[in-house]
Every structure is written in structure tokens, then in C-alpha cells.
Amino acid sequence: MADFDPIVVRKADGCWLTTTDGRRLFDGVSSLWCNVHGHRHPKIDAAIRDQLDRVAHVTTLGMSAETTEILATRLAEVTPGDLAHTFFSSDGASAVEAALKMAFQYWRQTPMPQPEKTQFLALGGAYHGDTTGAVSLGGIEYFHQLFAPILFSPIRGPVPCTYRVPEEVDPLEFYLSQFRELLHDHHHQLAAVVMEPLVQGAAGMITHPVGLLSAVRELCDEFNVLMVVDEVATGFGRTGRLFACEHESVTPDILCLGKGLTGGYLPMAATIARPHVFDAFLAPATDSKQFFHGHTFSGNPLAAAAAIASIELFDETDLVASVDQKANHLRKRLSGLLNHPNVGDIRGRGLMVGIEIVADRETKTPFDSNRQIGRNVCRAAVDRGVWVRPLTDVIVAMPPLVATMEELDILASAVIESIEQVLDQQP
């Protein structure tokens, strides 16, 4: 907080934020990766106002709300494969926590129980949120050092990064062999593999080899391990498909959603299970097989109304189909940065872009973190009317999906000029 840069937003419209001191900033990270259709979209605004005239909140413990029931049905229709049974919560970390408990409890109640399955396999560099279970899964070294006494230890997989893979090997085979060995050795104790698909966002826009997701799905089937996919960041059009899993025709056993679920309007997340998972919990109350988990604001009707309106907007527009074209345009504008001696990589999928700044391009050695290169670049971008945030020295460009080509040009120019300004000042 001692280094806090005071940016206080008074209002917003479309892809633009207006601060209390009168600055107008392009929202270059979609208000932390969640804004999909822009701020103050008339359809979503109207849906929330209409819901306010009916009911703002009812519990889902013992009852439900009509709007929430409709949303659950819509999610079953639009998510991959036979994902059909939704547990609602308020944020992505809570969705992951629910998935962990769901997978753990599943193996105690499935028709052929395997109570020894108590562990989870998570990727290196993983990030799944800031609650205790999510931090345990995560691969953020500092978090594990600080909170070690209250965390569990997952089986740690590789960081499947296409940028730092040894040049002489095939990236897919290199990482897949490690996954195969881990599942072969630990499947008897593994409840689930938990992973972000295609791109590990908070890890630095780590981009996986094409085919890894589907190959891990096959390994989970082979070794009888559940697959939990965290699409909190990648879901709802961000990668050029409604869900990143669709790129490789994967249906996980449990899917976690958040961020863009309500179009970035209200806190809501979802943990969605396939029928075989749901059926393990379906029993008379006296059997005590119900899912022992609950939230006061699960399935909040105001959030559900926003989410339904957001999903309808995807149906009514070609927004997802436009992502690839916009992504190609943004990458083309940024591509000149690859000639800069301190830009090591530009990566991501769809409108998830990370620009990694390095001290030495040949060795891929990062700058000393105390120099705060990424943060200084983002400060310079704000001076140019664009709000972006760094992941250490990876500059993230993740605009709302509705951004126009002209707005993407504004974003690209600000990022390019800011990187050049800050790096030119380095000794």
C-alpha cells in the first residue's frame, strides 16, 4: 500500500473509465479480466434493473430463485459436453474450493469408493485464487513460503511453458512425458488433476503446447483420475471460443467459471459437474452424501440476471467469432516489439496477451525484480491514457472483447511507447 497509485473510478462507459480527477483511461485489462461486453451495456443494465423489481436475493439452501434456475439451465446448454450440474458461489477462488471438496468427497461416495484418493496434481506456476485451498494448489513460491503452516501440498507438475522449453525437444512430448510419469506413479492417491486450459494467466500468460489439454484428459481417463479445469480467466470468449476447452474438444469432469460469467458486472462463480460426479451425491438426506458446502449468496438472482443477459449477448452477436480477428490485429501491432533487445516473448491465446520483458534476450534472464520494470511500464501507459497491469515483468493486454480495432490500436501504441520509454531509461 505504500506504493499505491491512486486511481479512483467515478464512472465508465464501454471500454473507458473516468477517474475522480477527470482522467479518461482505456480499460486494457477488462477490470481484472472480467469485463466482456463493456461497461454499462444497456441489455445487462436492464436485466439487473428488472430483477430488482422482483427480488434481489434468496438463499439456495433449501430453495432457489427462478432466475437462478434459468441460468443453471443455460450453463448446461452452453458448456462443453455433458456438464450439467451447477454449484454457484461468488468468486473464482470459491469455485475452485468447491471443486476440490467435490472431487475429494466424490471418491468416498462413488459406487466403487477409493478413499485413498486424497491428493491433487497441480501445474507449476499455477494460480487458482487466494483462499487457502486455492493457494495450496497454486505454484506461487512466495505464497507457499509465507502460508506454509496452513497449506496442503499438492503433487506438483511441470510449468508447460512454450517460451522456456529446451530448443532441442518437442514441447508437447517434453511436458506430456512428465504428466504421464506423475499419473503413473501417483494415480492411486490422486483425486484430480487441476489445471488452467491453454493459458496460465497469473503465472505470466504461460502458453501451453497445442494438444496438451486433450492429452491430459486422455491420461486422466486412462488412470481413473478426475479432471478439474479452471476457466475462471479463459472462459466466456477470451481465447476465441466460448470456453478454452472447446479448442481441443475436452469435457472436464468439473469446470470452474467466474470473472466473465456475469459480463464482469457482479460477483458470481460456478462449479459445474458432469452427471457421474453429481450422481455420487444423489441420495436420501439420511445417507449424508449431500455436498457439504454452502454460501449465503450462492446463485444470487441479480448476478444470475446479469449472467443470463451476458450469455444472450453471445447468442445475439458474433462477439466470439470476432475475437480471432481482433487478436491477430493486436498481435500484429505489437509484433514490432520483438525487435527490441529486452522483449523476450509475446504470447497468449485470443485476447489474452502477455509481453515478457527480459534483461538478456539470448539467455531469457529476467531483470532484478527490485527494478520494477513491469510496474514502471504500466505507470507510463496510464500517462498515455491506458490502464494495464503487470505480472512482474510480463505486461498484460486483455481488453474487453467488444473493443474496436481503433481502441486496440490505442492500447497497442500506449504499450509499445511505454515499454520503449522505460527500457530506454535503463542503464
Annotated binding site: 92-93, 127, 230, 259, 294-296, 389
- Give the three cell numbers for residue 166: 529446451
Would you give the end-to-end CA distance of the chain in angstroms?
28
Q: Distance (Å, rounded) from C-alpha 133 to C-alpha 332?
A: 39
Which residues 6+ apart lie within 8 Å of 412 measured at CB? Answer: 330, 333, 334, 397
Alpha carbon separation from 13 to 69, 252, 377 (Å, rounded) = 30, 36, 25
Confirm if 85 and 273 have CB atoms less than 8 A apart.
Answer: yes
Q: Which residues are annotated as a binding site for pyridoxal 5'-phosphate?
A: 92-93, 230, 295-296
Closest alpha carbon to 246 in 345, 355, 316, 323: 323
Task: Check the CA dihedral 108-114-119-120 and report its sign.
Answer: negative
- Give the three cell numbers for residue 249: 474438444
- The arrangement of strands across the sheet holding 24-27 comes to 9-13, 16-19, 24-27, 386-387
Q: Distance (Å, rounded) from C-alpha 209 to C-alpha 176?
A: 10
Q: Which residues are annotated as a binding site for substrate?
A: 127, 259, 294, 389
Q: Distance (Å, rounded) from C-alpha 135 to C-alpha 139?
A: 8
Alpha carbon separation from 167 to 94, 161, 175 (Å, rounded) = 38, 12, 13
